[in-house]
Amino acid sequence: MQGMKGLTTMMAMARRGGAATLGCWTLSAAPFASALAFSVVKVPRRFLGSSSKSAIPKVKACGDLSTYDLVCGQEAKLWVGRDHGVARIELDRMQSRNALGHNMLTDLEHCVVKASELTIDHTIRCVVVHSCTESVFCAGADLKERRAMGEDEVVAFVKRLRASFLALQRLPVPTIAAVGGVALGGGFELALSCDLRVGSDGCVLGLPETRLAIIPGAGGTQRLPHLIGVPKAKDLIYTGRTLKAYEAYEFGCLDRYVVQGGALEEALSLANTIAGGGPVALQAAKEAVDGGFAAATWEGKMAVEEECYARVVPTEDRLEALAAFSEKRKPNFKGA
């Protein structure tokens, strides 16, 4: 894994015309730029993601919505797929770079509540959170609105934001943030609320709140240390510095880094793969990982796994999987 990340760094340095170090070797970008570019083909998809167009056709930045129905929202929209289990929460307030204002937050709250309802019958099996464009994911808080707020209003708004992101985190199905472009402050905290993060080559992530004399208030001080460790989280929070895509991948802020192609394309491909699993098993797996991680002892962790495993044993889907394996066909899971 470290070798793959080192290769990613070298490719990024090559694009900037610098030098890169891997182990005892220091490579100048100029003579090796073409070789490094060719190496992208050799990197396994599990490390960097892919720009493959086979599963999801390349379309405009907001993606092909022809197989989705709009369920609710204007500035944050919930799109639910027909018959494939993938739902999308689309941020659509481009005039303000998807800044988190009152209206967008209200829409986001409604989207998360409705999405949670639709996981009960397994209509939704995976959720992708993305922007309507690859140029920006979410620029953070709407500072124009914030300047007009009193202290009590600021506290109340951030409390709502915190609760909304926690509800997103607690959706019973896997969630993926497709981070194309800028994701700063509350925008990065929104991405941190998802299970996985896929970034494009042009994305920029950071928590600049200390530069504004505040701190991350929508979960960033808690989720980021869990994700990348306390020292690295303190580095980013104390300095307020931003990370480019390859740096964010090195830090562990991104799970997949797409060198060519868009983050949404890769995220949807990943979501389609995830949604192909057993619906009951997907929810049980998320609960087992999250619940076990929060348990204080190994006995407690094993108890969480045991409870979740017991839920999948009596399902029809488990028997269907065994039959499909025997008959050499694709299983038809129904969430029962």
Catalytic residues: 141, 186, 189, 209
93 and 104 in contact (C-beta within 8 Å)?
Answer: yes
Determine contact, residues 136/97, Cβ cutoff 8 Å. Answer: yes
Q: Of 75, 204, 77, give the one whose Cα is nearest residue 136.
A: 204
Q: What is the β-pairing status of strands 242-244 and 204-206? A: antiparallel
Q: Is 184 left (phi over 0), alpha (psi -120 to 50) or beta?
A: beta
Q: Which long-range contacts (CB under 8 A, 24 or more apart) does 88-92 make?
A: 88/63, 88/127, 88/128, 88/129, 88/130, 88/268, 89/115, 89/127, 89/128, 89/129, 89/130, 90/62, 90/130, 90/131, 90/132, 91/129, 91/130, 91/131, 91/132, 91/137, 91/138, 92/62, 92/131, 92/132
Find where tokens 């025997």 sit: 326
- Dig out the tokens for 299 from the structure: 């006995």
Which tokens belong to 265?
């394309």
